[in-house]
A and B are shown apart, each in its own frame.
Chain A
Amino acid sequence: MIVAVNVHLKKGVLDPQGKAVHHALETLGFKDINGVRVGKQILLDIDTEDKEKAIALAKKAADELLANPVIENYEIEVK
């Protein structure tokens, strides 16, 4: 089962990459985009068909390594 962990900088933390991408989009003429946040998606191939088990495992991996709780939030998504 493929489980995605989507990691983003927390709301209050300035995202300089997102800002630069936003600026580039504006330059290209995308006027209706209010803001951009850049995160990362980490795909875990988990050896189980049990959805709850997979989510619990992905959550544990995110808490221990994949996200830094000081500056980042994450969401888990089953693919």
Chain B
Amino acid sequence: MKVTVIVFPGTNCDRDTKWAFEKIGANVEYVWHNEHDLKNPDLVVLPGGFSYGDYLRSGAIARFSPVMQEVKEFANKGGFVLGICNGFQILLESHLLPGGMTRNENLHFISKFHHLKVIDNKNKFLQNLNVGDIVNIPIAHAEGNYKVDDETLKKMYDNGQVILKYCDKDGNELNPNGSVDAIAGICNEQKNVFGLMPHPERAMESLLGGSDGIKMIEGFMK
């Protein structure tokens, strides 16, 4: 499988993301923000970081970079796109995913392992997991407070687009940042564009705290 990792000025999870996908057997290429050739990938990943210094709003400037025009076209043709953390924020600002992000309710940058519950697995990303499964994945963000209007939210539930929620180790809802319904990850209506605030690429090795990220991203390999 060929994976393209997009690198913006200020991206800082590009190497972790490349390493994670190589660990599960993918061929990974970087593409710089001002390039137009996505290198014919099976999956495009927008990694975490602080693209363009998070100026104006997180992800707002990245949306206008040359490479994002190609990513939009790739997504609109049904290509698989995964946005992690800042990558998720960019997908929201690019209107490839519904909703928007605001500052964490407690105003703090939160960096820790957090449990997540699988809400829907009828999609490529989470197909290796079961509904109700709990995974333990690092989060690291200041703007992960997901907001969306009620009408869109209802449609997202009906269509299986709410895929991950924050919870405690027993699966009870636990909301670290104030997101609507403790939502941690979503997908688009066509289920080819995915976004989540937690970092599965940082949970690839039990020696480094956990390996639950493997079964998540391996979904793209099938």
Q: Which residues of A contact B (CB under 8 A)?
A: 9, 13-14, 16-17, 20, 65-66, 68, 70-71
Contacts and interface: CB of A to CB of B under 8 A. Distances in A.
Instruction: Please classify the interface of chain B as helix (H, G, I), strand (E, B), loop, or mixed, using the class held by over half of its residues.
Output: loop
Interface stretch (B38-46, B70-78, B104-112): B104-112
Interface in B18-60: 56-57, 60
Contacts of A65: 56, 60, 64
A20 B56 CA distance: 20
B124 interface: no
A14 B107 contact: no
A70 B103 contact: no
A65 B104 CA distance: 22
Interface residues of B, number: 20
Interface string B172-213: 000000100000000000000000000000000000000000
Task: Describe A's contact surface by its main secondary structure.
Answer: mixed
Contacts of A17: 103, 107
Given A68-B57, A68-B60, A16 B148 contact: no
Nearest to B61: A65
B178 A68 contact: no
A14 B107 CA distance: 12
Given A66-B56, A68-B93, 10 more contacts: A9-B102, A14-B105, A14-B178, A16-B102, A16-B105, A16-B107, A16-B145, A68-B100, A70-B148, A71-B147
15 contacts: A9-B102, A14-B102, A14-B105, A14-B178, A16-B102, A16-B103, A16-B107, A16-B145, A20-B107, A66-B56, A68-B93, A70-B92, A70-B99, A70-B149, A71-B147
Contacts of B102: 9, 13-14, 16, 71
Nearest to B177: A16
B103 to A, nearest CB: 5
A68 B64 CA distance: 14
Contacts of A14: 102, 105, 145, 178
A65 B61 CA distance: 8
Contacts of B57: 68
Nearest to A66: B56
